[in-house]
Copies of this chain bind each other. A is one copy, B any other.
């Protein structure tokens, strides 16, 4: 009995461990997709519903699978793109189909073929224009798809308007289910952008301190090969595309948490750009550390204390800026630290000459001033 209990407990704990390893946000998202799929399947499974919607229930399932994205803003943007693309494509398709219907058999086929090629070429070119691609790529694709399907099947179907209307209502149902499930425990792109921006400050602070530690460790131990971990810094440097897509989704999101309507997500992109430039500077520390031309240990030791002070101040300022963004508050301490660092800088200006690390640190701090002035 005791043995059984022990083995049961060990199974439970190993399960807990495995679940602990899973990313909870991803699990919640997956469960929501599963629930949304079952909800739209009911259109097929329940007789009274099926008699109303028929085979077109397929379109509701397709909408859920294709539109349901990780972030609530992405789901909204894709859904609205899909809806507008379907309405425009369907409308134009119906017009073309009616025109084809009135042009006789061979004339009709010609009208269909020519309209498909004109819309296909034109819309595909529009899709490849960067500004359209960024925001409306999916909408234009659905526009081409719906137009082609409607105009081509118009040749064979008698009640083209009825068919188009039914499909549209099914896509609407699928979209409604998506929005409904997406907004239970929603995962906001805005929150993600907000917290990732705050984390960037921490990453840079850690990188700066890591670099300084490494630099003075070489001084103590000449044999040691410098082995820095610049991954945090590099991830900041390569964050442009993910930031942009997050901001893009965040703009679609309604009021939530501390973020109101028309919240200025652009500012996060500006901060991100400045942080990326800062990351580039921190990364170029690497050249100083790995360079063949190293100052002598005594030279190095002489600037150790002021350098470490500056590094610490920089890291503190960065961490505090990150904190203040995270909490959306302006900390008074920030200004104090700035003044303190300014005093230190002036006192250091004299003895920091002739040393490359200090030089770079100065460049860095002039940069931090820019951030502070933002």
Is A238's CB within 8 Å of the partner chain B? yes
Residues of B within 8 A of A364 (CB): 287
C-alpha gap A58/B59 in the complex (Å): 13
Q: Is the CB of A30 within 8 A of B121?
A: yes
Chain B contacts of A141 at CB under 8 A?
A: 65-66
CB within 8 A of A367: which of B153, B287, B356?
B287
Task: Tell me whether B287 and A31 are in contact (CB under 8 A).
Answer: no
Contact indicator per residue, chain A 285-296, by CB within 8 Å of chain B (1) or not (0): 011101111000
Residues in B whose Cβ lies below 8 Å from that of A128: 23, 26, 29-30, 70
Contact of A120 among B37, B45, B237 (CB under 8 A): B37
A266-294 interface code vs B (CB 8 A; 1 in, 0 out): 00000000001101110110111011110
Q: Give the distance in Å from the alpha carbon of A245 to the alpha carbon of B283 in the complex.
A: 24
CB proximity to B under 8 Å, residues A100-135: 109, 112-113, 116-118, 120-122, 124-125, 128
CB-CB under 8 A for A44 and B124, given A38-B117, A287-B366, A362-B293 = no
Interface stretch of the complex, out of A76-84, A144-152, A188-196, A326-334:
A144-152
Least CB distance from A117 to B in Å reads 4
A265 in the interface (beta carbon within 8 A): no
Asked whether A153 lies within 8 Å of B287 as measured between CB atoms, the reply is no
A38 touches B124 (CB 8 A): no
Shortest distance from the beta carbon of A172 to any chain B beta carbon, whole Å: 18
A242 to B283, CA, bound (A): 21
B30 lies within 8 A of A149 (CB): no
A41 near B112: Cβ-Cβ < 8 Å = yes
Copies of this chain, count: 2
**Quick check: B148 and A30 within 8 Å, CB to CB?**
no
With known contacts A65-B141, A155-B45, A30–B70 Cβ distance under 8 A: no
Q: B113 touching A45 by the CB < 8 A rule? A: yes
Determine if A7 is an interface residue (Cβ-Cβ < 8 Å): no
Distance in angstroms from A275 CB to nearest chain B CB is 13
Enumerate chain B residues within 8 angstroms of A70, measured Cβ to Cβ.
128
Assess whether A240 is interfacial by the CB under 8 Å rule.
yes
- Check if A113 sits within 8 Å of B33, measured CB to CB: no
Residues 234-255 of A contacting B (Cβ, < 8 Å): 237-238, 240-242
- Kindly report which residue of chain B lies nearest to residue A356, judged by CB atoms: B359
Kindly identify which residue among B156, B238, B281, B353 contacts A241, using a CB–CB cutoff of 8 Å: B238
Would A38 and B113 count as touching, CB distance under 8 A? yes
In Å, the complex CA distance between A22 and B125 comes to 9
Q: In this assembly, does A62 line the interface, its C-beta being within 8 Å of a C-beta of chain B?
A: yes
Query: Beyond A29-B124, A34-B124, A281-B287: 16 further Cβ-contacts under 8 Å?
Result: A26-B128, A30-B120, A33-B144, A34-B117, A34-B121, A38-B116, A44-B152, A65-B144, A241-B241, A279-B280, A280-B280, A280-B284, A287-B364, A290-B366, A291-B363, A354-B354
Q: Sample 20 A-B pairs with CB under 8 A, ordered by A number.
A: A26-B125, A30-B120, A31-B121, A33-B124, A34-B117, A37-B117, A44-B155, A45-B112, A50-B156, A58-B153, A66-B141, A237-B276, A238-B238, A238-B276, A279-B280, A284-B360, A287-B363, A287-B366, A291-B366, A293-B362
